[in-house]
Structure 1
Amino acid sequence: MEEARQRRELLNALAAIRSHSQISQSTVAKRIRTSQPAIARLEAGIIDPRLSTLQRYAASVGKRIQWTLVDA
């Protein structure tokens, strides 16, 4: 459950950054070589994205993902 919450928070943050930056889903899709509907599904949490997809999405809006390891 915690992992799902963290993934949802990350996706929400990426979508908020995209929206705040006035970057369309279509633009993100073109930048990471996917379709706009795929970006919509990603932001809606319908699909479970790969790490590489999240990294490309972040880069497309001028950000990078920083990971931290913590005790389980």
Structure 2
Amino acid sequence: MPEIWAGLDIGKKHHHAVVIDADGKRLLSRRVLNDESELLQLIADVLEYPVTCCGPWTSTPASPPWPPASS
């Protein structure tokens, strides 16, 4: 299965989502309103892409390793 990365630029009234593959090819680029139904549809659309693994959705580029270490 291919690897993909999804990013979201958060705004007050709207957001912009981008999904790219391992080669940097843009698979999805969409502006969505800050609306629950639009955001849920975006998540559903992103989850339709086949992926090799999953990681955390994060608001910072410096996220901890996945899965998190047990304490």
Q: Under a length normalisation based on structure 1, what TM-score does the superposition of the two structures give?
A: 0.25
Greater strand share, structure number: 2
Larger Rg belongs to: 2
